[in-house]
Amino acid sequence: MINHIAITALAALLMASPCLAGGLEEISAYGYGGYFSWQEYTNAGSRVVRESGPIFGAGAAARVDLLQRSLILHGKAELFGTVVDYAGQTQASSDPAENNRPADSDTRYFGGKIEGDLGWRFAFSGGSLEPFFGIGYRTWLRDIASSTATTETGRRFAVGSATEYWDTIYTRYGLKGELPFGNETALFLEAGAKYPLYTRNRAEDTSAGDVTLEPRSDWSAFAELGIRHKAFRPALFYEGFRFRRSPVEQRGIYQIHQPQSNSDIVGISFAYSFH
């Protein structure tokens, strides 16, 4: 995981270097807090895992004019983390009485992401609109703590921990817009959809040992709405990820797969512009 964060930080520096050379329109730092949920489903659509709780993050963003205030490059780098409640069920036990039993625990998340968007800005007297496309990379640790559960007869038993390292590369497609109110205030928005090109989940210390799973891709949405006043920029935002069920990995007597998984974040961000 440390290597992944180092890669994220290095990519952010590489992204920032051409911005400092010229054409820089804005560079800003931001932080956010929000509500996070992770849910997993069976093939029949029944939910088997729900994780939820607060999430916090911080990052930096830059906007660069590449051509005549029309061709615009946007870059962002971010770190995030949280500890949330886990409500799921046991699985893959050698004792049938200990399978599919409700289990509660905590899950720790820590990760980072980088994104780059390229758009064409159409300016008009009442503001601007900018269709864009981009690419992003997101990596995170998902660490479920050990706990206990009970069989139907009331016998308590230990439930082991689970550690997963996730990576996804995804495309972004959307629209940015800005509507000024006076000289120092503007309403801004961003909305669109994203689609993973590749996703990997490296699950460690499962019943079958270490397993690498590759969840299939699905479309998800993102959106942001806020107000820019002088150097300050508060906003509301939403970010989702959708992953379909992975192919099954056969390890001895075990068949391991990543279920359909949904991630959602709704939050409030505060940014400050330095340029």
- pLDDT, tens digit, 9 for 90 and up, residues 66-113: 998 899 999 999 999 999 999 998 876 678 888 888 999 999 999 999
Yes or no: say if 146 and 105 are a contact pair by the CB < 8 Å rule.
yes
User: How much is the pLDDT for 10?
Assistant: 44
Chain CA centroid to CA 146, Å: 24
pLDDT digits (tens, 9 = 90+) for 17-59: 454 455 899 999 999 999 999 999 999 999 999 999 999 999 9
Count the neighbouring beta carbons within 10 Å of the beta carbon of residue 43.
9
CA angle centred on 60, ends 58 and 62, rounded to 5°: 155
* pLDDT above 70: residue 6: no
d(CA 171, CA 207): 34
User: How much is the pLDDT for 241?
Assistant: 98
d(CA 65, CA 67): 6
Average pLDDT, the chain: 90
* pLDDT above 50: residue 139: yes
Is this prediction's pTM over 0.75?
A: yes
What SS3 string covers the chain?
A: CHHHHHHHHHHHHHHHHHHHHCCEEEEEEEEEEEEEEEEEECCCCCEEEEEEEEEEEEEEEEEEEEECCCEEEEEEEEEEEEEEEEEEECCCCCCHHHCCCEEEEEEEEEEEEEEEEEEECEEECCEEEEEEEEEEEEEEEEEECCEEEECCCCCEEEECCEEEEEEEEEEEEEEEEEEEECCCEEEEEEEEEEEEEEEEEEEEEECCEEEEECCEECCEEEEEEEEEECCEEEEEEEEEEEEECCCCEEECCEEECCCEEEEEEEEEEEEEECC
* pLDDT above 90: residue 271: yes
